[in-house]
Amino acid sequence: MSLRIGITGAAGRMGRTLVQAVDASDGLELGAALERPDSSLLGADASELAGLGKRGVTLTDQIATVIDDFDVLVDFTAPAATLANLAACREAGRAIVIGTTGFSADDETVIAEAATAIPVCKASNFSTGVNLCFKLLETAAAILGADSDIEIYEAHHRHKVDAPSGTALSMGQVVADTLGRDLSKVAVYGREGQTGARDRDTIGFATVRAGDIVGDHTVTFAADGERVEITHKASSRISFARGALRAAAWLGSREPGLYDMQDVLGLKA
């Protein structure tokens, strides 16, 4: 029996990629497709929009009307929309995969509380390669971090609305946690003018928004005489989509709880 997947923002770039990935996945089927209330595409066939031909699942803006049509919701939208969808999933006992970034501290509390009732997998990045980088960063920080200046560079397309990216922040958090530093106190998000000598304990972030860049991330550990760089470059959204669906399939058999992609990949010690 196939696991039924609901997709939010199904007419957008990531949503269409997710629809294509579901169609190509064994054991998964598209159960529901959601879009914003102001979308001109409401009522259109989601698979046809993704270039697959009609499959009979049309775009709707009302999650209540399709809540019985999916087992796991995959949500890559915006914080307010995700929280509303989370509430609907909690009420109906549906699992949810959250790829949205930019949540406030209060939002994070709401998500954690919902995870006491339903399975939730939340990650800043669902790429298998990025999550491997998180693991590599732990090792690099433990060995090099105390003697290195650490800088994080990220680049995304012109339409991305949050900065730094959630992935860059997660990378910074991994490094800070490994080194016993409080990221909120050591992060530097921009430099201009006479800044003085660099504080060794700081972790710098540089952000680029341009063109159609899918997602580039590099963490540099720069010591005297050498530097080590851990880089991930995404050339297509399909890597994120496949990872999210891998998480959805994994989540479908889990008890309520708050999980991340490290759990899915078995990378946690």
Based on the residue annotation, tell me whether 160 is a catalytic residue of this protein: yes
How far apart (Å, rounded) are the C-alpha atoms in residues 148 and 17? 39
Choose, from 160, 232, 233, 268, the residue flagged as catalytic.
Answer: 160
Cα within 13 Å of Cα(89), Cβ side: 32
Active site residue 157: no
What's the Rg (C-alpha) of the chain? 19
List, in sequence order, the alpha helices (H) in the chain. Answer: 13-23, 46-49, 63-66, 79-92, 105-114, 128-144, 166-179, 183-186, 238-251, 261-265
Contact 31, 5 (CB under 8 A): yes
* Tokens representing residue 195 in the block: 């800044």
Compute φ and ψ for 122, nearest 5 degrees. -125, 130
DSSP 133-199: HHHHHHHHHHHHGGGSEEEEEEEE-TT--SSS-HHHHHHHHHHHHHHT--HHHHEE----S---SPP
Query: What token pair was written down for 123?
Result: 């990650």
Catalytic residue among 54, 135, 156, 232: 156
Residues designated as active site: 156, 160
